[in-house]
Amino acid sequence: MKRRAFIGTSAVASVGMLAGKTGNAMKPITQKPLELKNNINHSACYWCYNSIPLETFLQDLKGLGVKAIDLVGPEDWPLLKKYDIHASMCWGAGMGIEKGWNDPQYHEELIADYLQIIPKVAKAGYTNLICFSGNRNGMDDGVGLKNCVAGLKKIMPSAEKHGVVIQMELLNSKVDHKDYMCDHTEWGAELCKQLGSENFKLLYDIYHMQIMEGDIIRNIQDYHQYIGHYHTGGNPGRHEIDETQELYYPAIMKAILKTGYKGHVAQEFVPSWEDKIAALKQGVTICDV
């Protein structure tokens, strides 16, 4: 399932209750816990593993020694608490990727949604909440930028009050998310500058930005002060981040660490291996510098 479809569904919570192919609950795959260096805070995006029931996946993470998960909403947080897994990037507000803050016609609904969930994120003990620019639909990027500023300013006081960081994801508009506006780091950084709040950052997806602009390490160095979270992914194909693709993640992780970054790096590749947890283990190991 593509991420676009997963984000758009209203049945996110029920995904975690899916049964295995036999109709019985899937058992966690036993993996030897990783001996992590604890320089990188590792996480994993659940949508890439949604064929595994959420509770089983949380047990898999626990078994690996990975302490966080990305892209889960309030309905799943009690289960995370049960397994002491942190929600490193929350969702649960907004209208999906295509209808975002760049279009004023959505502002009223977006503002209401975010003002409603921001206190919930804080109360649950979490910090990061995702948002999206929306598609251009013929709109000039400068106009879209101004619209984003106008809308987001309405929720930033609440985010600041509750200690929640609103994070707009950088996505590619070439392959996966045609027409998406926040598709270059420079545009996203300018949005951060104009908002002028430490509670607004960019979710820097390495896979997406490799497609759109490349020069990953230099851009991380130049714009790190505006980046609040990272996602991985192999290019081309968004599969394993090993030698089958063009990015060298150990060097990228070292560059991230040199900026002083203390947040999470979430694996967001779609496993092509039959054993998805083994693929995740490999990805975490590659990034554990």
Listed by start position, the domains of the chain span 39-287
Helix (H) or strand (E) holding 284: helix 276-287
Q: What is the pLDDT of residue 4?
A: 47
Q: What is the pLDDT of residue 9?
A: 39
> Residue 144 is encoded by which pair of tokens?
């879209």
Q: What is the pLDDT of residue 33?
A: 80
8 A C-beta contact, residue 48 and residue 268: yes
Q: What is the pLDDT of residue 28?
A: 75
Q: What is the pLDDT of residue 31?
A: 66
Side chain identity, residue 154: K
Q: What is the pLDDT of residue 142?
A: 98
The β-bridge relationship of strands 200-205 and 264-267 is unpaired
- The segments of the chain whose pLDDT lies below 70 read 1-25, 29-31
DSSP-derived secondary structure letter, 173: T
Q: What is the CA radius of gyration of the chain?
A: 18
Residue 287's nearest CA partner among 273, 270, 269, 274 is: 269
- What value does the mean pLDDT of the chain take? 92
**Inter-CA distances, 219 with 1, 185, 225, Å:** 30, 8, 11
> Residue 107 is encoded by which pair of tokens?
């502002």
Cβ count within 10 A of residue 217: 15
The packing angle between helices 249-258 and 216-223, to 10°, is 10
> Residue 110 is encoded by which pair of tokens?
């977006």
Side chain identity, residue 72: V
May I ask the CATH architecture of the domain 39-287? Alpha-Beta Barrel (3.20)
Q: What is the pLDDT of residue 23?
A: 34
Rounded to two decimals, what is the model's pTM?
0.91
- Residues 54-66: tens digit of each pLDDT: 999 999 999 999 9
Residue 179's nearest CA partner among 244, 228, 135 is: 135
Question: What distance in Å separates the CA atoms of residue 210 and residue 194, rounded to the nearest whole number?
Answer: 25
